[in-house]
Amino acid sequence: MFDKLLGKKELEKHIIDLESQITELKVQNDSFLARQASKEETARKAISQKQIVEQELNTSKKKIETLEHEISTFKKITKDEMFFRNISYISKQSINKYLSRINSFTSGDHSLITISLKNQELLSGQKNSDELLEYLDKDIVSLIDKIDSPTGLIIFYDTDRMVREVLAPYLPVDSSGWQINTGFNVELLQSLIERKVNLCIVLAHAGESFIGITEDQNTFFSRSIIRSSVKGKHTKGGWSQRRFERLRTEDIQHHVEKVRSALKLMIADADVKIDYIITGGDFKLASMILKDFEHSLVRRSFDTSVDKKNIDRILQEVWSCRRYEI
């Protein structure tokens, strides 16, 4: 009777409802707390990331300032400096056409200069060089003297600037001199191109070297790629590096002896007179390979790497003149 008067059942039901609401609110509260913690973590990471980005941005700005300074300095240095308009190769198959065109230039007055320079000789070192230099621009003289050609140079220069050509032939120039006339003198270059010679090629690289003998631009009548296992360079210091370098030196010496033996056998089997040994690649290594060979050596730079797929390109480069257009 009292329970009914006090509404006990209603109170119990109300208590259950309240407890249910409390439980639901706790779940919502936990969810809010988790979301808040996630937002705070995101904010913390964002602040940290912002600091990293700002550091990287400052570093990039400093690099940009440094590069801009270097570019500005380079522009000042090169402001009045001349460059070659083009550097290319003229193959032996094309050289006659080239010489025909050079030979076709004529002038009503003496304005066409032909110059030949042996290896390591400069324009300023020629006979009557004061007279020669009067015809040439100073910047052009400086540009030509920068060319490193172990075979020397042949220069065709028109004082009216219609023709300004420099050729580094594939065979050494054997005399120096110059002349000015109504036409260019192509005889020296023509005689070099027409010479019948047997060339032995040694492209030396640690672990992979090319050797071959050729008498014309069509083929190597004997060739070989010599490979050996040579360790790469070591970047760490200490005893480990010293031991590694010693083992690498031993590998290189083994490769040198392997190439030397193969080259001696190749030359003996060819049974021809070798007029020149043309060396390329690592010149220090090539010198080690050829230290006992009594042949005329010519050092040349090759753009072609040692690879069986590049044999034709090596051959073409052997028999090509390098052309510099001013």
CATH number for the segment(s) 86-193: 3.30.960.10
Average pLDDT over residues 195-209: 92
Looking at 76-90, 117-131, 170-184, which range is the least confident one? 76-90
Please report the pLDDT score of residue 287 as a whole number. 92
Please report the pLDDT score of residue 301 as a whole number. 86
Please report the pLDDT score of residue 100 as a whole number. 93
Please report the pLDDT score of residue 5 as a whole number. 44
Quick check: 2 pLDDT over 50? no
Side-chain-side CA neighbours of residue 206 (13 Å): 11
Q: Which fold has domain 196-319?
A: Nucleotidyltransferase; domain 5 (3.30.420)
Domains of the chain, by residue range, sit at 2-78, 86-193, 196-319
Please report the pLDDT score of residue 166 as a whole number. 96
Quick check: 121 pLDDT over 60? yes
Burial of 152 (0-12, 13-18, 19+ CB in 10 A): buried
3-state secondary structure 35-90: HHHHHHHHHHHHHHHHHHHHHHHHHHHHHHHHHHHHHHHHHHHHCCCCCCCEEEEE
Strand extents, DSSP E, 124-275:
153-158, 164-168, 177-181, 199-204, 208-216, 219-227
pLDDT tens-digit readout, 231-273: 666 555 555 667 777 888 888 888 999 999 999 999 999 888 9
Most confident range (mean pLDDT) of 20-24, 78-82, 259-263 is 259-263
Average pLDDT over residues 69-80: 59
Quick check: 314 pLDDT over 80? yes
Looking at 90-104, 266-280, 296-310, which range is the least confident one? 296-310
Two structure tokens written together for 154: 């042949």
Q: How far is CA 249 from CA 252, 271, 289, in A?
A: 5, 33, 14
